[in-house]
Structure 1
Amino acid sequence: MKKRKPHFLLVVLSLCFVTSVFAQRRHHGNYRIQNGFGIMGALTQFDILTDNFETKSSNGWMVGASATVDIPHKWYNVSYLIQLSENHIDISANNLLSQSEFVEYKMFAAQIALMMHIKLVSSYVTLDVGPMLQYNDKLNLKDDDQEDYVLTNYTNLTAKDISDISKFNVDGAVGITAGYAFIKLRAQYIYGFTNILGKLNDKDLNTTGASESKFKGNQSMLVFGVMLTF
C-alpha cells in the first residue's frame, strides 16, 4: 500500500508559501481590505450514512490552509480553503469463523472550498458556510488479512469488494470559528451531497442476502481544529 502523507504535506507547504507571497493590504476610501492566510491542524470523525452497511465512525486527522479576504465594512468575510485528510471508518463484517467484527478502512481526501464567514461578533466569532469539491482515494483496508471477510447483511460480498468508491464528490460545509489575533478554534461539519458509493453500482457485485440491491451513501465528517492566521 502506497504512503501518500509526504505528498499531502508538500502540497500544504507549497500552498502556504504561495499564499503568503500574495498576502497584502489594500485601501479603498476610508476602509482597508486585508488579505491574509492561515494554516490549520485538526482531528476528524468520519462516517458514511448508508442503509447498505453497518458502519461506525472513527477518528482521523486533517491539515489545511486558507486565503482570506477580510472586509471590515461588510457583515461577512470570504476565504478559499484547501484541506487534506486521512479518514477512518469501521464497517461490520463476518470473519472466516462467521464471527461478527468491525473491519477498519482508511481514505485519503483533498477538499477545496469557497467559504463565507458571517460575522457574529465582528471577526472574532464567525458562522462559516460554503460549497466544497472533494477528490478522495479508495477505501483502503487497514488489515489486508480481513479482505475476504463477508460484510454484514450480505452472503458473498467481501470487504475488498467495496474498495473502489466514487472519487469525485460535492460537499457542503458549515461551522463556527472563534478566536483572537493570530489563533482561532474551528468546528466544522461536512456533508456529502453526492453518492460516495455510487461507483459500486457500475460493478457486477454480488448483493445476495441484502434488502438493498443498489449502493447509496453520503459522507459525514466532523472537524475540530486549531488555526494560525497571518
Structure 2
Amino acid sequence: MKQNKHFILLVVFCIGFVTTFYAQHKRYAIKNGFGLYGGLTQYDILTDNFETQPGNGWMVGASATVDIPHKWYNISYTIQLAENKVGIASRQATLPMQSQFLDYKVFSAQIALLMHIKLVKSFVTIDVGPMLQYNGELELEDDQYENFVVANYDNLLAKDISGISKFNVDGAVGLSAGFSHFRLKAQYIYGFTNMLAKLDKADDLDVTGNDKKIKGNQSMLAFTAMITF
C-alpha cells in the first residue's frame, strides 16, 4: 500500500509539473488538455524458456497533453492501468506428452512521457516514448492446475513461476488519430528489462531439464479510444 501511495504521488507531481510549466509560456497559444481512455489489449511474454500463447485483456488510462502549435510535436504524460492474460504451456506429471496452455494474468500500472510527432497537424500523430511499469505477480487463474509441470522442464510447477520482477522499463510506439475531443489510439509496448529476472535469481526453483537463463520481455498491443476535455 505504501508503494502504491508513492506511485500515485509521483504521477500527480508529473502531471502538475507539465501543466504548470507549459502554461507559463507567454508567446504562444499553448493548450493543455486532459483525456480519459480505455480499450482492449493483446499480451505476450517473449521468451525462449516457456511456450507462450498471447492473451487478451483491458486497459484504462488518463493523459495530460500539451499542444504546442509552433512545434512539430506535442508532449503528454500518461498513467494507465491494465490487466492482461497470457497462456503458458504445461502438462500433468503423469502425462508428459499432453500439454495445454494454462491462463495466467498480470495487473500492471504504467506511467509514460510521450512525444507525439505531427503527421497531419495534431489530427494524426506518431506517439513514442519511455514508460515505467509496476506490475503484480504472474497469477495462475485456476488453482487446480498449480501442480502441472511447465513445458520444457522436468519438475518446475505452474505455481512456481508467479514471482516475476515488479518494476520494469518499457518503450512505447503508436499511432493516434482524431479531432479535438475524440481520438483513436493504437500502441505497441515492449519491455526492455527482463521481467523474469527474479525467477532466474531464485534459488528454490527446480529447473532440471532446461539450463537456459530465464529471460523474458513483455509484448503488448493496445487499441483504445480517448475522450479529451
Q: TM-score range by the shorter chain?
A: 0.7 to 0.9
Structure 1 residues 1-230: aligned runs within 5 Å: 28-29=26-27, 31-98=28-95, 99-204=98-203, 205-212=205-212, 214-230=213-229
Contact 1:51 1:216 in 2 (8 A): yes
Structure 2 portions without partners, runs of 5+:
none
Q: Distance in 1 between matches of 2:130 and 2:152?
A: 34
TM-score (norm 2): 0.88
Q: CA RMSD in A?
A: 2.1
Q: Secondary structure at the match of 2:61?
A: strand
Query: How many matched pairs?
Result: 214
Letter paired with 1:138: E
Kindly state the Cα deviation for residue 95 of structure 1 after the two structures are TM-superposed: 2.4
Contact 1:49 1:219 in 2 (8 A): yes
Letter paired with 2:29: R
Deviations 1:87-121 (A, max 9, x none): 10000000255231111000000000000000000
Q: Distance in 2 between matches of 1:206 and 1:27?
A: 59
TM-score (norm 1): 0.88
Q: Distance in 1 between matches of 2:79 and 2:164?
A: 22
1:3 aligned partner: none
Q: Distance in 1 between matches of 2:210 and 2:201?
A: 17
Structure 1 segments of 4+ aligned residues over 6 angstroms from their partners: 22-27
Same amino acid, percent of matched pairs:
62
Contact 1:95 1:101 in 2 (8 A): no
Letter paired with 1:56: Q
Q: Secondary structure at the match of 2:29?
A: strand
Q: Distance in 2 between matches of 1:46 and 1:102?
A: 14
Q: Distance in 1 between matches of 2:93 and 2:50?
A: 18
Q: Secondary structure at the match of 1:104?
A: strand
